[in-house]
Amino acid sequence: MIVAVLRLTPLVWQRLWIWQLATYPFIGAGGASFWILLELYFLFSFARDVFDGLGRRHFWRLVMTVSVLSALVAVGVDALTTLTGWLGSPEPFVLMQGQRLLLTIAVAAFATANGRATILFMFVLPIEARWFLALEILFAFIGFLQTRDLVGFVGLCAAVGFSYAYIRSGGGRRKGLREMRLRMERWWIEKKLKRMKRKRGLRVISGDKRGPWVH
């Protein structure tokens, strides 16, 4: 019962249960399954890098800002379609509930800040991170075709857009974005040096252990 009250529902605008705008990302969506574990794995992988790049305070500011704004957009669409008589999904908001919204934010933020980084899509196909913005919209649309959850689809699209705008604008902290970029560049250089060391038998001499972003 408590979990149901915390999920995002039409009661936000019908009964002014406005706390749901902030609580729904932290309520798990879907039953126990392999897909839930896969979603949580990807969430951890992307969110960890975003957290390291932005820092604790600005990471949570990103999450809460995008979550609330995306929910407001989705709730507005739900109210509009309901009042105009459009027959939507019997379970609105299901596409953007819980970890699905958090995963969308984390992937969009990472792809925006590290567009040229290469990611193995489904552990096989190498794709530049910037293309994941479009892939998120595509997957959300596929989910919409399966569930008819228009408000959830709109909410996910809004989350991608707001996350992109937040990171591009600096989110009030340009230094955090610079640190994220430098961290990724350092990781990539270290990876290349290790590969060269294995292939050519080179000895890699470490530089300043403080890292490039410590002043």
In a domain, 130, yes or no: yes
CA 54 to CA 63: how far, in whole Å? 11
Q: What is the pLDDT of residue 162?
A: 97
How confident is the model over 179-204, as a mean pLDDT? 63
Window from 30-39, 183-192, 194-203 with minimum mean pLDDT: 194-203
Window from 11-20, 134-143, 165-174 with minimum mean pLDDT: 165-174
pTM of the model: 0.77
Contact 98, 129 (CB under 8 A): no
Q: What is the pLDDT of residue 191?
A: 66
Band (110; pLDDT cuts 50, 70, 90): very high
38: pLDDT strictly greater than 70 = yes
Band (125; pLDDT cuts 50, 70, 90): confident
Element holding 118 (H helix, E strand): strand 118-121
In a domain, 10, yes or no: yes
Mean pLDDT of the chain: 84
Q: What is the pLDDT of residue 177?
A: 53
CA 35 to CA 52: how far, in whole Å? 26
In a domain, 158, yes or no: yes
In a domain, 160, yes or no: yes
In a domain, 209, yes or no: no
Q: How many CB atoms lie within 10 A of CB 185?
A: 14
Looking at residue 100, its amino acid is: R
- Taking the CA of residue 95 as centre, how many other CA atoms within 13 Å lie in the half-sphere pointing to its CB? 30
Query: What is the per-residue pLDDT across 45-86, written as a single tens digit (0 to 9) for each?
Result: 999 999 998 999 999 999 999 999 999 999 999 999 999 988
CA 78 to CA 151: how far, in whole Å? 6
In a domain, 203, yes or no: no
Contact 140, 81 (CB under 8 A): no
How confident is the model over 101-125, as a mean pLDDT? 88
Residue showing tokens 């992988």: 45
Domain extent, residue 147, equals 2-173
Band (138; pLDDT cuts 50, 70, 90): very high
Cα angle 211-111-198, degrees, rounded to a multiple of 5: 50
21: pLDDT strictly greater than 90 = yes
In a domain, 71, yes or no: yes
124: pLDDT strictly greater than 80 = no
Q: What is the pLDDT of residue 35?
A: 80
Band (182; pLDDT cuts 50, 70, 90): low
208: pLDDT strictly greater than 70 = no
DSSP 18: T
Cα angle 209-214-215, degrees, rounded to a multiple of 5: 120
Q: What is the pLDDT of residue 210?
A: 43
Q: What is the pLDDT of residue 123?
A: 66
In a domain, 25, yes or no: yes
> What is the count of structural domains for the chain?
1
